[in-house]
Chain A
Amino acid sequence: MNSNEKKLKKIFSDIFKIEENTVDENSSVDNIESWDSLNHLNLILALELEFGISFSEEQTVEILNYSLVKLVLQEHGVSFENG
């Protein structure tokens, strides 16, 4: 697994208190029970601090599932390519 992918899964696991291996492309606000507004705030903080980036206001409200988080991170230059 790409190291940023691994890091991202670890962040999901720590913030939402779920097992790392249950995090996948389908993980979203609809199927992670602990993804409430407060944990959303914590997720944003953790992502910004861990990847050293700052989201725009628009981005912070749209990243409501794992795939979108990845997409927005890619816009900030975070690579999820293998190798």
Chain B
Amino acid sequence: MTEDILNAINRVKVEQSYLAYVALSNLTADVQGLGFNSYRIAILRNFTIEPLIPVIKGEAIRYGLAPDIYISDFDAIAESVMNESSDLYKKNPDIIIIAQWGEGVSPALSSRFIGLSKEEVDNEVSRIVSTTKSWFSEIRKKSNAPVLINNFISNGIATLGILDYQSDAYQKHTLSRLNKYLLEMSKDFSDIYWVDLCSLFSQIGYTNSVNEHTWQTARAPISKNALLQTGLEFTKYIRALNGKARKCLVLDCDNTLWGGVIGEDGLDGIRLGNDYPGSAFINFQQECLNLYNRGIILALCSKNNETDALEVFRKHEYSILKEHHFSTWQINWDDKAKNLCRIAEDLNIGIDSLVFVDDNSFECQWVLKQLPQVEVINLSKEPFNYRNELMSFGFFDTLTFSGEDKKRSQMYVSDNQRKVLLKSASSYEDYLNELFLEAEIGRANKDNLSRISQLTQKTNQFNLTTRRYTEGDIDRFLNSNDMDVYYLKLKDRISDLGLIGVAIVKYKNSLAYIDSFMMSCRALGRGAEDVLMSIIIQRARKLGCNNLIGTYIETNKNIQVSNFFDKQKFIFIEKIDNVTTWNLKIELNSIKKYPKWIIVKENNL
């Protein structure tokens, strides 16, 4: 990355200002030449969305994408969607954003509500639901791109004043009913995501968010105070859809998880308790714990004596966070950038999976400079703001939340126990034998679809093609006659690792193609990938295929699997740019035996 772009990204991170986004978005043409993945964003709108564009472009660049934006004509949502040869479809977008302003969609519900009969209100609500539904079904006929669409925000002051809230039939309730119907209706379609502007604007405040003056003069309703956050509310989805959600929260200790300095103030002297400021630190710890329960890995990076800092988690009665919540820590006097690298290495995740939180702006600046891949939250001096500061960027936001997530952070803690076992075992194979590994492999079904899509979006290192799929994509694969989606679950005597491997195979004539093959990092080194490959070969043979084609698409993160097919006895065919193709002749003796330390259970094969 060039210095210019790096500086512009850092300026956005530090200033979080509109102008910083404008400056970064001005470099869009530069990043297009730099190997950033091109990302086509089509925006359909009924209001002036242009002021938001620098934020959308800037964020996309921050995620390593080269944004290519198409904006429809004003008020041309229906026209673009319904017309098969519209520019929308010609652009073949990676994502479609429908940005709609309620007053434009329904002047009746927005400003003339009091003049309508109950029947007219109901008709207007059903009209909007059915129009929106027709958009979705048209889009889905022509495009699989995820759709982001915003809900309707509630008006400032209702015509009926204080009376309005008293009846379900009045304005505010009608709008929330409309939002609810729209949400329910869209469940019939895949990959429709509702951007909850209604909740964002109530957080910022209606009068702060909406600028009546620019709405009436330029059809630009979003005020300067809400500009950044509105843009970010849309781009949070772009981050999640592109597998850029962060996995690990790395926390400083002093003045971050408690007030004061443990090494000086001691266990009784630090601020952590029911009275302010201690109460603010409890709130912040609670939010970290909530993230832990969402499956985010917690780690510590603090300049302290290790025993001093750990004592708080072990002994302090008000510390909600306990030692067992942290998967790893670097508590020493070394450079924090170095310590963050050690943490990533320890957890076997990328540096770009980390979010680092510290109250010390020197440490934050240093990390930003040394490790631009890390997202940094520099806490303000006001502990009561900490919780909001942690959550407002949506660094950890994902599109799904599965049972696996709840377990994940505990799994990383179990990994530490495995390390202990490994140290005591006489050989690696002994260690594997002692783990009592059990693999379950099967063809995917509706129940694990969400987790499978999530793995395709999040796995970077052991991933041979890095193709990202939404739940809608996977659902289509399941219903297709010429494809198989395999899942791999693994458990050992220490814990259940859950669904950690996915393979997608396409069949054509007598050839089988490995479209995707990936494993979560925490399951590596146990030979489970050999079992999965063996099952793929067995089934391809059963279906009458005589060759299995594998491709490896090199990214800057998956170098560790560059010789995977070689190890699996595939023959090298060709290399074009970053794509290597391999072939395996399917014969009886090409089926590999399972490693003897794994018990394999097959399901629905």
In the complex, chain B residues 200-253 whose Cβ is within 8 Å of any chain A Cβ: 213-214, 217-218, 220, 224, 227
Residues of A within 8 A of B (CB): 10-11, 14-15, 17, 37-38, 41-42, 45-46, 48-50, 57
Given known A45-B51, A45-B224, contact A37–B22 (CB-CB < 8 A): no
**Contact at A41–B50, with CB atoms within 8 Å?**
yes
Nearest A-chain residue to B22, judged by Cβ: A14
16 inter-chain pairs at a CB distance below 8 angstroms, sorted by A residue, are A10-B19, A11-B19, A14-B19, A14-B22, A15-B19, A37-B218, A38-B48, A38-B50, A41-B48, A41-B51, A41-B218, A42-B54, A45-B224, A48-B224, A49-B227, A57-B213
A-B contact count (CB 8 A): 40
Query: Which chain A positions have C-beta within 8 A of B51?
Result: 41-42, 45
Structural contact, B22 and A15, CB atoms closer than 8 A = yes
Shortest CB-to-CB span from B15 to chain A, Å, is 10
> In the complex, which residue of chain A has the Cβ closest to the Cβ of B216?
A57
1/0 per residue, CB under 8 A from A, across B17-59: the answer is: 1110011001000000000000000000000101100100000
Binary per-residue interface labels of chain B (237-278) against chain A in the complex, 1 for a CB within 8 Å, 0 otherwise: 000000000000000000000000000000000000000000
Most chain A beta-carbon contacts within 10 A, residue among B17, B19, B227: B19
> Closest Cβ of chain A: how far from B101's Cβ, in Å?
15
Size category of the B interface is 10 to 19
Q: Is the CB of B50 within 8 A of A46?
A: no
Closest chain B residue to A11 by CB distance? Answer: B19
Q: Which residue of B lies closest to A48 (CB)?
A: B224
C-alpha spacing A17/B214, complex, angstroms: 23
- Check A49 against B17 for contact (C-beta < 8 Å): yes
Min C-beta distance of B410 to chain A, whole Å: 44
Contact between A49 and B214, CB atoms less than 8 A apart: no
Most chain B CB atoms below 10 A, which of A11, A48, A49, A57:
A49
Closest 7 A-B residue pairs measured CB to CB? A14-B23, A14-B22, A38-B50, A45-B224, A49-B18, A46-B19, A48-B224
Residues of A within 8 A of B218 (CB): 37, 41
Which residue in B18, B23, B213, B217 is a CB contact (below 8 Å) of A45?
A: B18
Q: Once the chains are docked, how many angstroms separate the CA of A45 from the CA of B226?
A: 11
Given A17-B26, A57-B213: A46 and B48 within 8 A (CB)? no
A48 to B213, CA, bound (A): 15
Residues of B within 8 A of A17 (CB): 26
